[in-house]
Amino acid sequence: MTKKEISIFYSKDWEDYELLDTGEGEKLEKFGQYVFVRPYEDAVWPKNISNKEWEKADGKFWSSKVGAKAGWKMASERGESSLKKWEMEYKGIKFLASPTPFRHLGFFPEQASHWDFIEEKIKNAKRPIKFLNLFGYTGVASLFALRAGAEVTHVDASKQTLNWAKENQKLNAELADAPMRVIEDDVLKFLEREEKRGNKYDAVIMDPPKFGRGPKGEIWKIEEMLPKLLSQVKKVLSDKPLFVILTSYAIDSSSLSLGYALSETMKDFGENVKQGELCVLEKSQNRLISLANTAVWSRN
């Protein structure tokens, strides 16, 4: 019997982002010059810093679960107009942050450890790498792959999000003309076409949503579609893939589920899967807070 272990993935190197405190179903976070309160239902413990400090936040996202009108409410002295978009940075890569209707701010701070991994693995590969970012969102992972020297293909079903990814690339002058294809498409249909074309990729990252719609109304449900997604990803992998990263905010079960799924997909390439939790360090208590499940296959 193969024994699976749970790993912890987190970065100690954030400067523009801090998780200040958590508790009572919420988290208090600093994004550059702004502080926000967002729902965090897993925080089933008391807050550690005073309510007065929480009340100083520039904005709060209300979840429909608490009975209030869902969405952002900004502090009157700031106003929504002053919080449209602002620049942030992680290890020299610049990107834009902005409150979105889905409680996010255009990137996921807990994925910083994956950005580090992507850049290191591609740099150390000592060969040309074709990198595929599926459900690519605003493209921060793609920028780290670009800086490492990869040829990047970035796929998402949202035109607005892809425009944001292009803005992020332009923010980084040294990467503005780097080879990144930005494609608006349903991920499964894209993969099927790439298989027919014979296009192959050496490295893949994917963060499938729980539910979504493609540009032509295609329905995505993770419980039904994840096995098919992994099967299609395998069909576009090169003979010597470098890594495959799978992250999910939508699966409530243990990260072991993702690990088993990715292990089965990559079994022909060797058993090199780590599964675990994407975390950030909470300043108030100096403890790790888990925000997502992930599994990573990599070539030794």
Q: Where are the beta strands (DSSP E) in 140-268?
A: 151-156, 180-184, 203-206, 211-213, 219-221, 243-248
pLDDT band at residue 1 using 50, 70 and 90 as cut-offs = very low
Minimal CA–CA distance to 259: which of 297, 230, 292, 228?
Answer: 297
Q: What is the pLDDT of residues 35-59, one digit of tens each?
A: 999 999 999 999 999 999 999 999 9
Mean pLDDT for the stretch of residues 232-248: 97
Whole-number Å distance between alpha carbons of 22 and 44: 9
CA torsion 200-188-245-173 (nearest 10°) is 70
Rg (CA), the chain: 19
In this predicted structure, what is the pLDDT of residue 253?
61
Domains along the chain with CATH numbers: 14-90 (2.60.40.1180), 104-298 (3.40.50.150)
Least confident of 33-37, 217-221, 285-289: 217-221
Amino acid type, 102: F
Mean pLDDT for the stretch of residues 25-32: 97
Half-sphere exposure for 196 (CA within 13 Å, toward CB):
6
- Please answer whether residues 142 and 131 qualify as being in contact, where contact means their C-beta atoms are separated by less than 8 angstroms: yes
Global model pTM greater than 0.85: yes
- 8 Cβ neighbours under 8 A, 6+ residues apart: 276, 277, 279, 288
> Quick one: the chain helix, strand, coil %, rounded to 5?
30, 30, 35
In this predicted structure, what is the pLDDT of residue 148?
98
Q: What is the pLDDT of residues 147-204, one digit of tens each?
A: 999 999 999 999 999 999 999 999 999 999 999 999 999 999 999 999 999 999 999 9
Most confident of the ranges 55-64, 234-243, 291-300:
234-243
3-class DSSP assignment, residue 60:
strand
- 28 Cβ neighbours under 8 A, 6+ residues apart: 19, 20, 21, 22, 35, 36, 37, 47, 49, 53, 54, 57
- Using a pLDDT cut of 90, give the percent of the chain over it: 79
Q: What angle do CA 238, 239, 245 make, to 5 degrees?
A: 55
3-class DSSP assignment, residue 68:
coil
Mean pLDDT for the stretch of residues 197-213: 86
Find the distance separating the first CA and the last CA of the chain, reported in whole Å.
22
Buried b / exposed e across 71-105, counting CB within 10 Å, b at 16+? ebebbeeeeeeebeeeebebeebbbbbebeeeebb
Whole-number Å distance between alpha carbons of 25 and 246: 26
Stronger pLDDT, 212 or 172, i.e. the higher one: 172
In this predicted structure, what is the pLDDT of residue 141?
98
Q: Residue 124 pLDDT more than 50?
A: yes
In this predicted structure, what is the pLDDT of residue 168?
98
Query: 34-39 and 59-62: which strand pairing?
Result: parallel
Cα separations in angstroms, 185 against 95, 156, 159, 196, 276: 23, 6, 9, 16, 29
pLDDT band at residue 209 using 50, 70 and 90 as cut-offs = confident
Whole-number Å distance between alpha carbons of 72 and 62: 6
